[in-house]
Amino acid sequence: MSKKLPIFTLGVEEEYQIIDPVTRDLRSHLSKIVDGAKIILNEQVKSELHQSVVEVGTMVCRNIKEAEAEIKSLRGHIVNLADKQGLIVGGAGTHPFSNWLNQPITDDPRYHNIVKEMQDAARSNLIFGMHCHVGIKNREIGLQIMNQATYFLPHIFALSTNSPFWEGRQTGYKSYRTKVFDKFPRTGLPEYFDCVASYDNFLETLVKTNCIDNPKKIWWDLRLHPFYDTIEFRICDMCLTVDETMCIVAIIQAIVAKLYKMSLANVSFNIYRIALIKENKFRAARYGIEGNMIDFGLQKEVETKMLITELLDFIDDVVDELESREQINYAHTIMETGTGADKQLAVFEATKDFTKVVDFITGEFTKGL
């Protein structure tokens, strides 16, 4: 008889675009949305580096249904508060045409310090992501899962790609957001660590030598969180719809649960070189789900959709226990109808009008609320 899985709690963070309904450009909300939301949502809403960004985060959720209800509620609250300011809200990894030079920085010592240190790399970091925390009490097991789950990051990322435009240009990428973020230090795929002691020693060394003032300034695509008992997946673009977000969150949770289940049986997933996984990450950023990635086991190129289907098969035996089959099955819809990037590109192809792309993004944001 198989052992019952523990509860893998979820926390989801989304970063929203605040948009002027007339110009369709990003617009500063002068902290009015954040201040208004704090009355209802307390610490679940935060300002970000740029004044046109609002970040929300769920409470700790026991399962995918709780997380979905929270995300719907948070999206609804922010839409209502924006509406009171005469503004609208959208979800994408980049804005189709906004120029970062025109977007004011939030007046906060933390952000002033980041800009002082990073200069234009920070000022130009006008991007929007979705992060997912999965609870794991044992940090040693958490670290081993982080090492193994890194292989799957390009698969998840490909499904989330939703930033094909940058400053009014078609970039040729399905996710240009990651190319913008690459300018920051301590980003990208995580290094391999053989134990928590070496991981903690690495963080302590960076703090001691004034590279960072706190361990949260490790902005990797996946990290064992320095303060919470979670593994945090940070690679995804901000999704158009709630359905897309919840599909990807459910897949992330299932990957952690599956790797945990394997650890109970003293089995582990292959660890591949980060340099190899980087090749798949590049392909995911460039082509989304439409290209090929490398199957390292077979040592050959295969269709990205085939690798994603194999991932769905790999996690299938934990999905029903997590009660997330409905959300995970939505991955087939994404593979049939395209990612956010594919849909944005289709709108632009049909209209040659970036404002119509923005209208599409803001229209999709409230779907299913």
Specify the amino acid at residue 85: Q
Q: Please give the Cα distance from 12 to 246 (Å, whole number).
A: 9
Consecutive H or E run containing 88: strand 88-90
Q: Please give the Cα distance from 90 to 52 (Å, whole number).
A: 11
Q: Give the tokens for residue 319.
A: 């999905």
- Indicate the domain borders of the chain: 10-365
On whether the CB atoms of residues 251 and 311 are closer than 8 A, the answer is: yes
Consecutive H or E run containing 322: helix 304-322
pLDDT tens for the chain, 369 residues: list them: 357 889 999 999 999 999 999 999 999 987 888 888 888 888 899 888 888 999 999 999 999 999 999 999 999 999 999 999 999 999 999 999 999 999 988 888 888 888 898 898 888 889 999 999 999 999 999 999 999 999 999 999 999 999 999 999 999 999 999 999 999 889 999 999 999 999 999 999 999 999 998 888 899 999 999 899 999 999 999 999 999 999 999 999 999 999 999 999 999 999 999 999 999 999 999 999 999 999 998 999 999 999 999 999 999 999 999 999 999 999 999 999 999 999 999 999 999 999 999 999 999 999 988
**Would you identify the CATH topology of the domain 10-365?**
Creatine Kinase; Chain A, domain 2 (3.30.590)
Which residues contact residue 35 at a Cβ distance below 8 angstroms, ignoring those fewer than 6 apart? none
Q: Please give the Cα distance from 149 to 332 (Å, whole number).
A: 21
Q: Please give the Cα distance from 222 to 235 (Å, whole number).
A: 7
